[in-house]
Chains A and B, each alone.
Chain A
Amino acid sequence: MKISISSSKAAKRGFTLFEMIVATGAGGLLFAAVAVMMMYGGKSTAMMGNYVALDQSDRDTLDTITTDIRQANMVTSYATNQLQLQTTDVNTGATNTLTYTYNATNGTLTRVLSPFGVASVATNTTTTLILSNIVANKFSFGMYQRNPIGGVVDQYTTTNASLCKVVQVSWTCSKSVLGIGETESVQSAKIVIRKE
């Protein structure tokens, strides 16, 4: 058997200029396509990750707020950027004041739990930052009384805290990622105080 290894001149010659141009062009196009795909894929993944983080933060906050309001004894004070509730500790039976405050400058929502009748700066006060990245002036509380309005799925509004049966909370959060885009999440809920 004869094994022939080609070593002809033709095989040894380099690329022609035309071949080089075609090969470089095709390679460049392929590289550009892959680069663009990788870039957008990375951006999309980053945006998705950003949205997931924002959504989970929003959902945790909403779950906390809804649980607190459902269990509250009553609303004791109300403003569109602040809600104060009277609550009872299920374990100790102690009466507490729970205050949610929206800070428009910082874009944050804080939850302050303090013994009832004690100023919120007391040492045994628990302050928790439960939400950040709130878009300026895109947060509000609303109050409704128990009566439904005939013909529509809504209740009568009230500014009297003692008549409050339903609390509405709405906000919009936004977060940028690597300077390549903004992710926005909008939440709105009406919560019924079960005890009232």
Chain B
Amino acid sequence: MKIAPSKSNSGNVLMTVAVVALAIASYMTLVTNENNTVARSQAWNQCIPVCESGIEEALTQIHYWENNFTATNNWTLGADGYYHKSRTNSDGSYCAVSIVPTNPPTIYATGYVVAPMKTSSSYVVRKVKVTTLRRPADGINAKGVISFSGNSTIDSFNSANPAYSTGGLYDSTKHEQNALVLTDSDAKPAIQISTGTIYGSVDTGPTGTVSVGGTITGTTANNANVQINDVQPPFTYGTGITPTNGSYNYNGTNYYYLLGTGNYNISTVSLTSGNALCVNGDAVLYVNGPFSIAGQSYIYIAPGGVLNMYINGTGSFAGGGIVNSSGYATNCFIYGLTNCTNVTYSGGAAFIGVMNAPDAAFSYSGGADFSGALTASTVTFSGGTSFHYDESLSSLTQVVASWNEF
């Protein structure tokens, strides 16, 4: 047997391999950690849109509730007194939202995103608190051109505050300067007031212009970007009551149509020859075609009565117009459905109410003013008629007041 002398350099190879392996391992660890950090950062940032989706849903529900909080649309009332809802996305992320039913409401949204390189039950979590407030100003909203001819005044008042109204009615000595005249239009001009004063602000589309012969007391902006949704029918046509005549003791006793509390539907309405419509309850009237008033005819909303009228055709309010005896805009709502492309109001009585006809060219004339709120496709006021926005209506709309992330 031959024993060869040991080779003392064998350890050098091992040492070299060890050093190289250590260097490679360090490098790979560095790269892996960087990758993990980036992935976690992306998940952390992804929590925000997840929270945002929940907040959007909460704001929609708040608008739907109109401050009458109930466990509807899969929102549940928890033992903590908050309303809760959770929605899971296809990638496993989900948002848990809570609404604190105060006035104005507060929203808490918690976004959960599956943590990178972890099991599906491990999440990156972020929380957002959103407080809301009443939309501070409104008035006229339109998709197209808004035009006032003659010496018009556009201002605001508050029918719910005696300091800014008298008996709930507009009082020029108590008016405020919070009217907003807004259009998404980029026309030049998109808002045109020949003479007169806007006691408030105007806002057009980004390239729209404003032509005002008088004065604007507030701001002029060009960043309007308002989504004006179509009005949906209140109920399935044909399932309501057909209006009939009846008696009510005002300006005579016989009415061509007398509406009490309930859902009414009719194909068309044409009030002429002194025929009148009286509302003495909380009535919803769905007219699946044109609606017109002419001659000596009129609509009378009795004290305590509320009219919600949906028109699916043209609307023409001449004659005596709409006599809203309460004097409050919240007692008269006129809605234009998608086939309502033209609405004219030239009635003798001042319009006191809310006109929401987003697809209609709306024109207003005559000597009486408009008090309330208006939404239309285009708006034309002529003959020096004025518009007074009722600020008490703004309570129906909530917007984001603050956004805080945790």
Contacts and interface: CB of A to CB of B under 8 A. Distances in A.
A156 B222 CA distance: 10
B161 interface: no
Interface string B36-51: 0110010011001000
Main secondary structure, interface of A, reads helix
Interface residues of B, number: 36
Nearest to B44: A63
Interface in B266-294: none
A70 B30 contact: no
Interface string B17-47: 0011001101100110110011001001100
Contacts of A51: 34
B89 to A, nearest CB: 20
B37 A156 contact: no
B68 interface: no
Interface in A56-91: 56, 59, 63, 66-67, 70-71, 73, 88, 90
B86 to A, nearest CB: 22
Nearest to B226: A146
B206 A156 contact: yes
Given A48-B31, A147-B225, A42 B405 contact: no
A195 B205 CA distance: 20
Nearest to A41: B23
B405 A163 contact: no
Given A48-B31, A55-B34, A146 B223 contact: yes
A5 B3 contact: yes
Contacts of B37: 52, 56, 59
B403 A71 contact: yes
Nearest to A30: B16
Given A90-B404, A195-B402, 11 more contacts: A3-B1, A34-B16, A38-B20, A45-B23, A55-B34, A63-B44, A71-B403, A147-B223, A147-B224, A156-B206, A163-B223
Q: Which 4 A-B pairs have the closest CB atoms?
A: A194-B403, A145-B223, A90-B404, A147-B206
